[in-house]
Chain A
Amino acid sequence: MTSLFLINILLAITWAAITGSFSEINLLFGFVLGFGGLYLIREQAGTVAYFSRFGKAIGLALVFVRELILSAWRVARIVTRPKIDLEPGIIAYPLTVDRDFEITMLANLITLTPGTLSVDVSEDRKTLYVHCIDVPDPQATIDDIKNVFERKILEVFR
């Protein structure tokens, strides 16, 4: 429940930020609204426990912004080549993380980072299928992901 409360605070702050007035009345109102918002998703809110690691999430976010810029740059380089010859492929990435939220984060990060795009997660949640825009060596890509993102995610959420 504490986590719920936490995220509610978070929503209240978001509200205040959006409306641009941090007066207590507005925060209070934001809290009420946030409560309303959470009420809608009370069933799914089991996952909110992870928000307790809010701090580390910031760090992760930074990494991920950097990666995003890189990947965008890479796309730019690819598409501006006079002749595009790539070896795309869909690889099966064996997941270590097993919680919905972790999987989700990982999948999103992968999508937003260079040359990879999560297509699907296997029913047993053991495998993440990733489309790579250019995979001369699939294993290299897999390791790359393992060492950069999955590790980060694990240390953020465990």
Chain B
Amino acid sequence: METGVVILIGLFFSVAVYLMLSKQLVRMLLGIAILGNAVNLLIFTNGRLMREVPPLIPSDLYTPLVKIANPLPQALVLTAIVISFSFFAFLLVLAFRAYQELGADDVNQMRIAEPEHDQTPPQGY
């Protein structure tokens, strides 16, 4: 059951990393968004996959009769989704502000914190 998804996850990670290795902040962010999905899928798959049966208890039972999908990874992923979404939103706006103030989208041109021609340390006493 997992195999196909596992391969897909690998692809997700590769694409995410490739995008994050772009010099363009926006593409990095796209990469981060995809990375989030990749990680979520990874956790989800770690709990093993089974088709379609959601972890819900029928209204007339106390415990489901059939085997259900593993609920814990779902809960973990839900938490992770929320978190990665929050971070994504923040980084997005951060990138936007950085672009506004630093006038650069190319991260290599963001050199205010660590200037290109850094002052050499003082000599003498």
Chains A and B share a contact (CB less than 8 Å): no
Chain B interface (Cβ < 8 Å from any Cβ of A): none
Chain A residues near B (Cβ < 8 Å): none
